[in-house]
A and B are shown apart, each in its own frame.
Chain A
Amino acid sequence: MTDKTLPTASTGGGSPDPWHGLRSLTRARIGLGRSGNAQRSTDVLAFQAAHAQARDAVHAPLDIDTMQAQLKDEPCLIVHSRAPDRPTYLRRPDLGRRLDAESLASLKKGSWDVVFVAADGLSSVATTEGAVALYHAMKERLQDWSIAPLVIAKEGRVAIGDEIAAAMGASMVVMMIGERPGLSVANSMGVYLTYAPRVGCPDSARNCLSNIHPHGQQTAVAADKLAWLMREARQRKLTGVDLKDDAPESTLLQQTPPALDKDTRA
């Protein structure tokens, strides 16, 4: 059964890589080959480099200058959660869900159909790269809506959008937020839609689109789905489980799952 002359599944040595075709089927780290039982040096270093990039994505601050440059002359509001810094933010999700006093006082009550909020979440890189583009795509699709100025929230979790919308008098909120970064993708953005938002809104009252990044769900595709959801939400005056059930392409509209269901929420 054994044959000591068998070549291994290694990618090295100049022999054709037997995993080449299979690797096109998935971005998973398959066919790595091994030295003894262990991974080869190149693969160990590649993994550690990806981990370093993911950690940097978590800890980098939101690049507000870049976002304002993307907005050109459009107005935006900048707010901060009750989490004063990144280490506190990571340990205290409750603080990331609420506005600090100064930010809350700065928001003026109006009457808007929707407010869009861009928050750093767990990948500020994703928000910096993707949020303004999606905001612009939505303004194109919702020309008959009254849309509040974009709010940029630092050290924010999903639920901070509820308090922002309530303070500004918006009927619904779209939260654009950096998702938990992985090794393959450190810049994935998620979007949460909530109708009639208020402090203490349950996650079951939201609809979610996830995996928005250059190698995942494209901005235009996500914008089309979000526009459909928003029109339905306005007509039926709700978001959450009941909205999901009737959606077209319902396979792509996700419910916010509980935290231990191996989900990827921020």
Chain B
Amino acid sequence: MSFHHTLGGERYGFDDLKGLLAAASSQRSGDELAGLAATSDGQRMAARYALAELPLSTFLSADLVPYEEDEVTRLIVDTHDKAAFAPIAHLTVGGFRDWLLSHEADTATLAAVAPGITPEMAAAVSKIMRNQDLMSVARKIRVITRFRNTIGLEGCLASRLQPNHPTDDLKGIAASTLDGLLYGMGDAVIGINPATDSVANGLALLDMLDHARQHYDIPTQTCVLTHVTNTIEIINRGGAVDLVFQSIAGTQKANEGFGVNLAILKEAHDAAQGLKRGTVGDNLMYFETGQGAALSADAHHGIDQQTVEARAYAVARAYRPLLVNTVVGFIGPEYLYDGKQIIRAGLEDHFCAKLMGVPMGCDACYTNHAEADQDDMDNLMVLLGTAGISFLIGVPGADDIMLNYQSLSFHDILTLRTLLNLKPAPEFAAWLEKMGLYDSHSDKMLPLSPSQTLLGQMIA
């Protein structure tokens, strides 16, 4: 199937649906690296016109990666909910954008159509939406998940406390955890990226985190972000596994690059469910994604990086996750070159995931070889907060000393909560107040030192 559009007297042709989607994407270095980007702004706009005229149903009959050779395609096709799709089945991509922005498409309506929306539909419509459109629609969508607290409620912004340490030193990690708790961080998860990805190390870290959580009765969940096969082994050895973490991507081959497939994810999910550790719900998967992952594994099948990223959300939603976040600026400038590209990608990823019913958060971040700085992260966090993001990641002073990149600081997330009047997850907020860390009268986290709180004993 080929496509064309005439703009300004010039006729632009596109060989297939993949090529059309890629050319319609806003400019980013990863698509240029892959040789998929529009070669001119005129061609990009012609692609957007052609895409806007396309019926949504086109995406149900044209697989970007063949059904026979890719289990992610099979998952998308086999689990598509035709009844949920029915109310929007008559729309074109352009009509879909208008409908999403209409008052008629309210929270309940958007929740009902989510199982009928494929990743390719979400990606396609996002390509003809401006940043404010991506925010307006996402803000109407509520994806609520639960384990030991409730994430995704209106008026709430949760946070992942990320206390990484370059040698996984338990006391060093505990010190960073204490710092974050004093800022009201950690309701989404207290989650460590281990420097050493082994079963023994994972067990030790989980034991430390679980001990602290139980001792202070913190209504949250902890996680060591180790490979899913390690987590299965940790469960077999009796480890304190709340959440199962895994990086995922949008094609079978890219997931193979991460050493996973749908069956191993299911095995891990079932094993963790067997532990029954959740108190208010049983969402227990935690996934990270990010544009560029498939291309970096040479597993993108000629699909642009934003569309193939959206396919990862189809993988995620199959396991009813508690948390998903895009690690948007982490992968480097060869995929997202500068602050403008990182900000756009963060808004696209959040929108597409929420549209598909996925509880999306973001690691608003950048590396030192990207053309970005903390001002760009300020912009991104305010835009995502306005768009109703489920959670953001915070590290001490925005500087991750293990992974060598910059994210948001605890200060930043506290500032955002104040700016937009957003609260932590309600169970966690109640705990903060009970511990004397939060004053509900002045609505402020109190600036306490460790010795002024019970938490000060955390580091023996």
Check B452 for interface membership: any CB of A closer than 8 A: yes
Whether the pair A8, B396 counts as a contact (CB closer than 8 A) is no
* Given A32-B411, A90-B334: A26 touches B397 (CB 8 Å cut-off): no
Distance (Å) between the CB of A52 and the closest chain B CB? 10
1/0 per residue, CB under 8 A from A, across B421-454: the answer is 0000000000000001001011001111111100
Whether the pair A29, B197 counts as a contact (CB closer than 8 A) is no
Distance (Å) between the CB of B361 and the closest chain A CB? 15
Nearest residue (CB) in A for B172 is: A26
* Given A6-B446, A8-B447, A33-B447: A260 touches B397 (CB 8 Å cut-off): no
Check B178 for interface membership: any CB of A closer than 8 A: yes
Whether the pair A29, B396 counts as a contact (CB closer than 8 A) is yes
Distance (Å) between the CB of B315 and the closest chain A CB? 14
Q: Is chain A's interface secondary structure helix, strand, loop, or mixed overall?
A: loop
Q: How far is it, in angstroms, between the C-alpha of A252 and the C-alpha of B334 when the chains are bound?
A: 29
Q: Find residues 47-73 in chain A having any chain B CB closer than 8 Å to their own CB.
A: 47-48, 50-51, 54-55, 57-58
Whether the pair A262, B288 counts as a contact (CB closer than 8 A) is yes
Nearest residue (CB) in B for A28 is: B396
Q: How far is it, in angstroms, between the C-alpha of A51 and the C-alpha of B399 when the chains are bound?
A: 10
Check A122 for interface membership: any CB of B closer than 8 A: yes
Residues of B within 8 A of A179 (CB): 404
Whether the pair B409, A39 counts as a contact (CB closer than 8 A) is yes
- Per a CB cutoff under 8 Å, which of B176, B373, B439 touches A51? B373
Check B296 for interface membership: any CB of A closer than 8 A: yes
Whether the pair B401, A30 counts as a contact (CB closer than 8 A) is no
Whether the pair B196, A251 counts as a contact (CB closer than 8 A) is yes
Check B282 for interface membership: any CB of A closer than 8 A: no
Check B289 for interface membership: any CB of A closer than 8 A: yes
Question: By the criterion of a CB under 8 Å from any partner CB, how many residues of chain B are at the interface?
Answer: 76
Whether the pair A260, B330 counts as a contact (CB closer than 8 A) is yes
Check B130 for interface membership: any CB of A closer than 8 A: no
Distance (Å) between the CB of A56 and the closest chain B CB? 10
Which of the candidate stretches B38-46, B77-85, B163-171, B229-237 sits at the interface with the other chain?
Answer: B163-171
1/0 per residue, CB under 8 A from B, across A91-106: the answer is 1111000000000000
* Given A180-B367, A262-B288: A7 touches B449 (CB 8 Å cut-off): yes
- Per a CB cutoff under 8 Å, which of A7, A9, A43 touches B397? A43
- Per a CB cutoff under 8 Å, which of B173, B367, B411, B451 touches A18? B451
- Per a CB cutoff under 8 Å, which of A43, A91, A257, A260 touches B333? A91
Q: How far is it, in angstroms, between the C-alpha of A168 and the C-alpha of B176 when the chains are bound?
A: 48
1/0 per residue, CB under 8 A from B, across A221-248: the answer is 0000000000000000000000000000
Q: Find residues 4-42 in chain A having any chain B CB closer than 8 Å to their own CB.
A: 6-10, 18-19, 22-23, 25-34, 37-39
Check B21 for interface membership: any CB of A closer than 8 A: no
Residues of B within 8 A of A1 (CB): 436, 439
Distance (Å) between the CB of B55 and the closest chain A CB? 33
Whether the pair B368, A91 counts as a contact (CB closer than 8 A) is no
Q: How far is it, in angstroms, between the C-alpha of A124 and the C-alpha of B337 when the chains are bound?
A: 20
Distance (Å) between the CB of B383 and the closest chain A CB? 19
Distance (Å) between the CB of B44 and the closest chain A CB? 19
Q: How far is it, in angstroms, between the C-alpha of A92 and the C-alpha of B334 when the chains are bound?
A: 6
Residues of A within 8 A of B247 (CB): 258, 260-262
Residues of B within 8 A of A10 (CB): 447
Which of A181, A183, A261 is the most central at the interface, judged by chain B CB atoms within 10 Å of its CB? A261
Residues of A within 8 A of B418 (CB): 37
8 residue pairs, one from A and one from B, having the closest CB atoms = A29-B397, A182-B404, A26-B172, A18-B449, A259-B296, A54-B368, A260-B293, A30-B179
Check B198 for interface membership: any CB of A closer than 8 A: yes
Between-chain CB contacts (< 8 Å), 11 pairs: A2-B446, A9-B448, A25-B174, A37-B414, A38-B411, A91-B333, A180-B405, A181-B404, A250-B198, A258-B258, A262-B327
A contacts, CB < 8 Å to B: 1-2, 6-10, 18-19, 22-23, 25-34, 37-39, 43, 47-48, 50-51, 54-55, 57-58, 90-94, 122, 179-186, 188, 211, 216, 250-252, 254-255, 257-264
- Per a CB cutoff under 8 Å, which of A186, A251, A260 touches B296? A260
Residues of B within 8 A of A264 (CB): 403-404
Residues of B within 8 A of A48 (CB): 374
Which of A28, A31, A180, A250 is the most central at the interface, judged by chain B CB atoms within 10 Å of its CB? A28
Whether the pair B29, A183 counts as a contact (CB closer than 8 A) is no
Distance (Å) between the CB of B349 and the closest chain A CB? 12
Distance (Å) between the CB of A249 and the closest chain B CB? 10
Residues of A within 8 A of B397 (CB): 28-30, 32, 39, 43, 47
Q: How far is it, in angstroms, between the C-alpha of A198 and the C-alpha of B76 when the chains are bound?
A: 38
Check B249 for interface membership: any CB of A closer than 8 A: yes
Whether the pair B449, A260 counts as a contact (CB closer than 8 A) is no
Residues of B within 8 A of A6 (CB): 446-448, 452
* Given A182-B405, A262-B327: A9 touches B196 (CB 8 Å cut-off): no
Residues of A within 8 A of B174 (CB): 25
Check B201 for interface membership: any CB of A closer than 8 A: yes
- Per a CB cutoff under 8 Å, which of A47, A182, A250, A262 touches B368? A182
Whether the pair B334, A91 counts as a contact (CB closer than 8 A) is yes
Whether the pair A182, B176 counts as a contact (CB closer than 8 A) is no
Residues of A within 8 A of B293 (CB): 258-260
Whether the pair A93, B334 counts as a contact (CB closer than 8 A) is yes
Whether the pair A28, B196 counts as a contact (CB closer than 8 A) is no
Residues of B within 8 A of A33 (CB): 447
Whether the pair A30, B175 counts as a contact (CB closer than 8 A) is yes
Instruction: Given contact pairs A51-B406, A181-B368, enumerate 17 new A-B contacts (beta carbons under 8 Å).
Output: A1-B439, A22-B459, A25-B169, A26-B173, A26-B175, A27-B166, A28-B176, A30-B396, A37-B418, A39-B409, A51-B368, A91-B33, A92-B33, A182-B403, A258-B293, A260-B288, A260-B296
- Per a CB cutoff under 8 Å, which of B166, B171, B292 touches A259? B292
Q: How far is it, in angstroms, between the C-alpha of A261 and the C-alpha of B197 when the chains are bound?
A: 11
Nearest residue (CB) in A for B200 is: A251
- Per a CB cutoff under 8 Å, which of B172, B399, B441 touches A183? B399
Q: How far is it, in angstroms, between the C-alpha of A25 and the C-alpha of B176 when the chains are bound?
A: 9
Q: How far is it, in angstroms, between the C-alpha of A179 and the C-alpha of B403 when the chains are bound?
A: 11
